[in-house]
A and B are shown apart, each in its own frame.
Chain A
Amino acid sequence: MTTPSKIDSPTLWDSKEMQRRTARRYRQERIFRAAGLGAVAISALFLVVLLGNIISQGTGGFFQTYIETEVELPVKVLGDPRTMTPEEFANSVRRANMLGLVAKSLEETFPEVTSRSEKRALIKIFSTGVRGQLAQFVTENPNVVGTRQKLWLLASDDIDQVVKGNIDTETDEGDRRVSDRELAWLQKLEDAGRVDVKFHTTFLTSGDSRNPEMAGVWGAVVGSALTLFVTLILAFPVGVLTAIYLEEFAPQNRFTDFLEININNLAAVPSIVFGLLGLAVFIGTMHLPRSAPLVGGFTLALMTLPTIIIASRAAIKAVPPSIRDAARGLGASPMQVIFHHVLPLAMPGILTGTIIGMAQALGETAPLLMIGMVAFIVDIPSGITGAATALPVQVYLWADSPERAFAEKTSAAIMVLLFFLIMMNAVAIKLRQKFERKW
Chain B
Amino acid sequence: MKKYLLGTIAALAFIGSTGAHAQSRDQIRIVGSSTVFPFSTAVAEEFGRTTNFKAPIVESTGSGGGLKLFCGGVGTAHPDITNSSRRIKQSEVDMCAANGVSEIVEMKIGFDGIVMAAAKTSPSMTLALHHIYLALAAQVPAPGTDGGEGHLIPNPFKRWNEIDPSLPNEEIVVLGPPPTSGTRDAFVELALEVGCDFFKGNAALKKSNENKHKQVCQTVREDGAYVEAGENDNLIVQKLQADGRAVGVFGYSFLDQNSDVLQAFPVAKDDAEAVEPTFEAISSGDYPVSRSLYVYVKKAHVGVVPGIKEFLTEFTSEATWGDMGYLADRGLIPLPEDERATVAEDVAALKPLSLK
Tell me, yes or no, whether A183 is within 8 Å of chain B by CB: no
A209 interface residue (CB < 8 Å to B): yes
CA distance A401 to B42 in the complex (A): 12
From A171, A211, A234, A400, B231 is in contact (CB under 8 Å) with A400
Interface check B176, CB cutoff 8 A: no
Known A175-B260, A210-B330, A376-B44: A400·B57 in contact at CB below 8 Å: no
Complex Cα–Cα for A162 and B274 (A): 33
Q: Quick check: is A355 within 8 A (CB to CB) of the other chain? A: no
Interface size on A, residues (CB 8 A): 48
Given A375-B59, A376-B57, A399-B232, does the pair A290, B29 have CB atoms closer than 8 Å?
A: yes
Are the C-beta atoms of B19 and A385 separated by less than 8 Å?
Answer: yes
A369 to B65, CA, bound (A): 11
A36 interface contact, C-beta 8 A:
no
Cβ contacts B43-86/A at 8 Å (1 or 0 each): 01100110000110111110000000000000001000000000
Determine whether the beta carbon of B59 is less than 8 Å from that of A237.
Answer: no
B48 touching A402 by the CB < 8 A rule?
no
Q: Is the CB of B57 within 8 A of A377?
A: yes
Q: Which of A379, A397, A403 has the most CB of B within 10 A?
A: A403
Kindly list chain A residues whose C-beta atoms are within 8 Å of the C-beta of B324: 120
Which listed residue (A131, A237, A378) contacts B48, Cβ 8 A?
A378
Does A288 touch B at the CB level, under 8 Å? Answer: yes
Could you tell me which residues of chain A, from 284 to 325, have a CB within 8 Å of some CB in chain B?
286-292, 294
Q: Which residues of B contact A399 (CB under 8 A)?
A: 232, 234
A217 within 8 A of B: no
Q: Is A74 among interface residues, defined by CB-CB distance under 8 A?
A: no
**Contact call B233/A291, Cβ cutoff below 8 A:** no
Q: Report how far A62 CA is from B228 CA in the complex, Å.
A: 33
Q: Which residue of B18, B27, B45, B254 contacts A210 across the interface (Cβ within 8 Å)?
A: B45
Task: Tell me the nearest residue of chain A to B62, going by C-beta.
Answer: A369
Complex Cα gap A211–B44 (Å): 12
Whether, in the assembled complex, B331 has its beta carbon less than 8 Å from a beta carbon of chain A, the answer is: yes
Residue-wise interface mask of B (239-255) relative to A, using a CB-CB cutoff of 8 A (1 in contact, 0 not): 00000000000010110
Q: How far is the CA of A263 from the CA of B43 in the complex (A)?
A: 46
Set B18, B31, B38, B48: member contacting A401, Cβ < 8 A: B38
- Whether B18 pairs with A385 at a CB distance below 8 angstroms is yes
Is A404 part of the contact surface with B, judged by Cβ < 8 Å? Answer: yes
Stretch of B9-17, B102-110, B128-136, B187-195 with 4 or more beta carbons under 8 angstroms from chain A: B9-17
B15 adjacent to A384 (CB under 8 Å): yes
What are the residues of chain A within 8 A of B16 when measuring CB–CB? Answer: 286, 288, 294
B55 close to A397 (CB less than 8 A)? no
Q: A210 CA to B46 CA in the complex, in Å?
A: 9
Complex: A131 Cα to B15 Cα, angstroms: 38
Interchain CA distance A120-B329 in the complex, whole Å: 13
Min distance, Cβ B70 to any Cβ of chain A, angstroms: 13
How many angstroms between the C-alpha atoms of A400 and B331 in the bound complex? 15
How many whole Å from B318's CB to the nearest CB in chain A? 14
Cβ-neighbour of A402 out of B12, B19, B253 (below 8 A): B253
- Contact mask A193-217 → B, CB, 8 Å, 1/0? 0000000000000000111000000
Does A407 make an interface contact (CB < 8 A)? yes
Q: How far is B58's CA from A289's CA once the two chains are assembled, in angstroms?
A: 15
CA distance A403 to B251 in the complex (A): 13
The docked-state distance in angstroms from the alpha carbon of A290 to that of B75 is: 13
**Neighbour of B27 across the interface among A167, A174, A387, CB < 8 A:** A387
* Contact in complex: B19, A288 (CB < 8 Å): yes
Instruction: Given A132-B49, A233-B8, A292-B19, answer yes or no on A378-B55 (Cβ-Cβ < 8 Å).
Output: yes
When chains A and B are docked, how far (Å) is the Cα of A230 from the Cα of B8? Answer: 10
Chain B residue contacts of A167, Cβ below 8 A: 260
Smallest CB-CB separation from A214: which chain B residue? B45
B347 to chain A, nearest CB (A): 22
Closest residue to A388 on the B side, CB-wise?
Answer: B57
Number of A-B contacts (CB under 8 A): 115
Given A167-B260, A294-B15, A378-B45: A385 touches B59 (CB 8 Å cut-off): no
Name which of B20, B48, B233, B257 has the most chain A CB atoms within 10 A of its CB: B257
Q: Is A257 an interface residue (CB 8 A)?
A: no
Per the 8 Å Cβ criterion, residues 380-426 of A in contact with B are 384-385, 387, 397, 399-404, 407
Interchain CA distance A255-B278 in the complex, whole Å: 67
Do B259 and A374 have beta carbons less than 8 Å apart?
A: no
Complex Cα spacing A399 to B16, Å: 34
When distances are taken between beta carbons in the complex, the residues of chain B under 8 Å from A376 are 37, 41, 44-45, 57-60
Q: B330 contacts A402, CB within 8 Å?
A: yes
Q: Which of A168, A176, A233 has the most CB of B within 10 A?
A: A233
Cα distance, A302 to B18, chains bound together (Å)? 21
Closest approach, in angstroms, between the C-beta of B3 and any C-beta of chain A? 12
Q: Is the CB of A372 within 8 A of B260?
A: no
Q: How far is the CA of A357 from the CA of B230 in the complex (A)?
A: 28
A168 and B120 CA atoms in complex are apart in Å by 13
Residue of A nearest to B29 (CB): A290
Tell me if B19 and A407 are in contact (CB < 8 A): no
- Contact A374:B59 (CB < 8 A) given known A176-B260, A288-B19, A400-B231: yes
Which residues does chain B contribute within 8 Å of A291, judged by CB atoms?
Answer: 57, 59
Whether A210 and B38, one on each chain, are in contact in the complex, defined by CB atoms closer than 8 angstroms, is: yes
Q: Is B290 an interface residue (CB 8 A)?
A: no
Does the CB pair A379–B257 fall under 8 Å?
no
B8 (CB) vs chain A CBs: closest residue? A233
A304 CB, nearest partner CB in chain B, Å? 15
Which residues of A have CB within 8 Å of B11? 233
B354, CB-defined interface residue at 8 Å: no
Contacting B at CB under 8 A, from A156-202, are 167-168, 171, 174-177
Complex contact A400–B18 (CB within 8 A):
no
A339 at the interface (CB under 8 A from B): yes
Query: Does B34 make an interface contact (CB < 8 A)?
Result: yes
B44 touches A378 (CB 8 A): yes
Are the CB atoms of A286 and B20 closer together than 8 Å? yes
Which residue from A286, A374, A384 sits with its C-beta under 8 Å from B60?
Answer: A374
Nearest CB in chain A: distance from B13 CB, A? 12
**A402 and B18: CB pair below 8 A?**
no
Residue of B nearest to A132 (CB): B49
- Give the distance to chain A from B38, nearest Cβ to Cβ, in Å: 6
Contact of B260 among A171, A210, A397 (CB under 8 A): A171
Specify which chain B residues have a CB less than 8 angstroms from the CB of A289 in the assembled complex: 19, 22
Q: Give Cα distance in the complex from A352 to B4, angstroms.
A: 21
Which A residues, 257 to 303, have Cβ-Cβ distances below 8 Å to chain B?
286-292, 294
Report B-chain residues with C-beta under 8 Å of the C-beta of A385.
15, 18-19, 22
User: In this complex, what residue of B is CB-closest to A339?
Assistant: B1
* B259 touching A176, Cβ below 8 Å: yes
Asked whether A177 and B259 contact (CB < 8 A) given A376-B58, A384-B15, A402-B233, the answer is yes
Q: Could you list some 8 contacts between A and B, CB below 8 A?
A: A286-B19, A288-B16, A376-B41, A384-B15, A387-B27, A400-B34, A400-B233, A402-B251
3 A-B pairs with the lowest CB-CB distances in the bound complex, closest first:
A378-B55, A376-B41, A376-B58
Q: Knowing that A292-B19, A378-B44, A407-B234 are A-B contacts, what are 13 other residue pairs whose CB atoms are under 8 Å apart, sorted by A's residue number?
A: A120-B324, A131-B49, A132-B49, A168-B260, A174-B259, A175-B120, A175-B259, A286-B20, A287-B77, A294-B16, A379-B54, A399-B232, A402-B256
